[in-house]
């Protein structure tokens, strides 16, 4: 069943969004005006960090059960905080992929039920498109621009040409960057999640004490690889055993430096490619998104690289860089405003769903296809 509308009936679009792709359960209400500006009326997030910390990573079954237990109350809270009811919504949106299939099923089935009962159209949103379009909500950014997505599940450089119009220029051929931080922390006996812990340890370390490899440096395509760097950290930790607190700090600082050098090298290629392809773009921008975007050293590296190439670094507020439902609702509003059809109620969740529809599998991506 597909709701037939595709046309905006008024000056504003109000949408309820749901996000359950990993270990955050979220609901949000946003409004998009006819001029392209928008506001977040509510944005409620429940983090499952404590539930997964003991296991050193996200456990899919625990995540799905946690989504089930809190999602209804979060939807109620989002509507209440926004001062709205379901009748006030123009559409219902939910993440349909990529992500953990159990969590995706919880959020998408809830959205389908709400759409069925209210007669509102359903938008099954690509999680990555939510990240890609957030800067248009926060900074009113015009197309085209570059997106660097760095999280626990994704590491990509994407050319954002328009709504539903993306080119993936670079992706990881093995581990995502957030995954590499988590595994480095585990190798050094540090707690989960690894990103903030490694960054904190690195702040008191010597980044030049150990020379770690800079993955894929100098290769022509802006892809990423972090498994070799992780292996180098393991070998270094074994060689230095037993490791002192200072040695751990120095390894973390050296790891973080190698990551920053890798990102700078990969983005240099993207900056040059963008400038050559869009020479008349007055406001060239690099948008960063994902949980790893909170890392201050990484942000400093990106800021320096962007400035060197004449780009502006656009960093949405941290609560909108990590997983949230406002970005899902906003992506749906952008799709609706662009005249893109809503989705049928039999839409299935997709654990893997490339943002770039023409993206091929990459070397090292394994039997299940490209890392997305």
Domains with residue ranges and CATH for the chain: 12-135+320-337 (3.30.420.40), 143-315 (3.30.420.40)
Residue 361: pLDDT band (50, 70, 90) is low
Q: Is the pTM of this model over 0.75?
A: yes
Q: Tell me, what's the pLDDT at 287?
A: 98
In which band, very low, low, confident or very high, does the pLDDT at 11 lie, cut at 50, 70 and 90? confident
Instruction: Give the mean model confidence (pLDDT) for residues 231-257.
Output: 97
The more confidently predicted of residues 253 and 6 is 253
Decide if pLDDT at 366 tops 80. Answer: no
83: left (phi over 0), alpha (psi -120 to 50) or beta: left
List all residues 6 or more positions away from 280 whose beta carbon is below 8 Å from its beta carbon: none
User: With pLDDT > 90 as the criterion, what percentage of the chain qualifies?
Assistant: 89
Residue 188: is its pLDDT beyond 80? yes
Q: What is the pLDDT of residue 231?
A: 95
Which region among 8-17, 181-190, 288-297 has the lowest average model confidence (pLDDT)? 8-17
Specify whether the CB–CB gap between 152 and 206 falls below 8 A. no
pLDDT digits (tens, 9 = 90+) for 287-336: 999 989 999 999 999 999 999 999 999 999 999 999 999 999 999 999 99
Compute the residue count for the chain.
372
**5 pLDDT exceeds 80?**
no
> Mean pLDDT across the stretch 354-366?
69
In this prediction, residue 132 carries a pLDDT of 96
Residue 348 and residue 366 in contact, taking contact as beta carbons nearer than 8 Å: no
Q: Which two tokens stand for residue 307?
A: 């400035």
């Amino acid at each position: 069943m597909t709701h037939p509308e595709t046309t905006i009936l008024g000056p504003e679009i109000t949408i309820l969004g749901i996000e359950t792709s990993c270990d955050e359960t979220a609901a949000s209400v946003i409004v998009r005006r006819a001029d392209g500006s928008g506001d977040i009326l509510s944005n409620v997030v429940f983090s499952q960090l404590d539930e997964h910390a003991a296991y050193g990573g996200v456990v899919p079954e625990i995540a799905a059960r946690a989504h089930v237990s809190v999602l209804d109350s979060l939807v109620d809270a989002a509507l209440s905080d926004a001062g709205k009811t379901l009748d006030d919504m123009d559409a219902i949106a939910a993440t349909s992929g990529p992500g953990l299939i159990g969590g995706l099923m919880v959020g998408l089935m809830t959205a389908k039920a709400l759409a069925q009962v209210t007669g509102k159209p359903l938008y099954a949103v690509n999680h990555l498109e939510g990240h890609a379009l957030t800067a248009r909500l926060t900074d009113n950014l015009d197309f085209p621009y570059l997106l660097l997505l760095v999280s626990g599940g994704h590491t990509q450089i994407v050319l954002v040409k328009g709504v539903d119009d993306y080119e993936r220029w670079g992706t990881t051929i093995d581990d995502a960057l957030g995954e590499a931080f988590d595994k480095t922390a585990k190798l050094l006996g540090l707690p989960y999640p690894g990103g903030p812990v490694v960054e904190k340890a690195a702040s008191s370390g010597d980044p030049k004490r150990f020379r770690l490899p800079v993955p894929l440096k100098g290769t022509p395509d802006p892809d990423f690889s972090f498994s070799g760097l992780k292996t180098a950290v393991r070998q270094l930790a074994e060689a230095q055993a037993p490791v002192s607190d200072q040695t751990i700090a120095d390894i973390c600082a050296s790891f973080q430096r190698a990551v920053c050098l890798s990102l700078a090298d990969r983005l240099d290629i993207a900056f040059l490619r963008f400038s050559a392809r869009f020479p008349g773009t007055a406001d060239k921008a690099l948008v960063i998104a994902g949980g790893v975007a909170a890392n201050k050293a990484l942000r400093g590296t990106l800021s320096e690289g962007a400035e060197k190439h004449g780009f502006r670094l656009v960093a949405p507020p941290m609560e909108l860089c990590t997983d949230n439902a406002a970005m899902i609702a906003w992506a749906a509003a952008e799709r609706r405003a662009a005249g893109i059809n809503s989705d049928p109620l039999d839409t299935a969740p997709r654990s893997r769903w490339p943002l770039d529809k023409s993206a091929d599998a990459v070397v090292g991506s394994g039997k299940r296809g490209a890392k997305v």
